[in-house]
């Protein structure tokens, strides 16, 4: 199982926490989930599903949404390219 970024909240609450699979997996093991149940939760999260188990609601964080507005693609106009050729 690879580490994936997750958004987690306690059932019935609106506040969320960003964490990762390895941290949540340890918590779920303490709450009594067996290895096959953990694998099932991991597969469902990896496919983009929201999973609720042991009082936690889990959802995979989409990396494209996480970086939205922070990183932008660099674009060049035809004039920029012509200027590079003169140098």
Instruction: Tell me the whole-structure pTM to 2 decimals.
Output: 0.68
State residue 66's pLDDT score: 47
**In angstroms, rounded to a whole number, what is the distance separating the alpha carbons of residues 34 and 30?**
10
| Cβ partners under 8 Å of residue 11, min gap 6 | 52, 55, 56, 57
Summarize the confidence of residues 61-65 as an average pLDDT: 69
Residue 2 has pLDDT above 70, yes or no: yes
Helix (H) or strand (E) holding 87: none
Q: Side-chain half-sphere of 53: how many Cα atoms within 13 Å?
A: 23
Residue 42 gets the label, from left (phi > 0), alpha (psi -120 to 50) or beta, of alpha
State residue 78's pLDDT score: 55
pLDDT band at residue 13 under the 50/70/90 scheme: confident
């Amino acid at each position: 199982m690879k580490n994936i970024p997750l958004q987690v909240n306690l059932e019935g609450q609106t506040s969320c926490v960003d964490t990762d699979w390895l941290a949540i997996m340890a918590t779920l093991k303490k709450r009594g989930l067996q290895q096959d149940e953990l694998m099932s939760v991991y597969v469902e999260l990896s496919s983009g599903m929201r999973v609720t188990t042991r009082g936690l609601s889990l959802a995979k964080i989409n990396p494209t949404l996480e970086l939205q507005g922070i990183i932008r693609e660099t674009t060049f106009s035809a004039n920029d390219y012509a200027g590079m050729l003169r140098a």
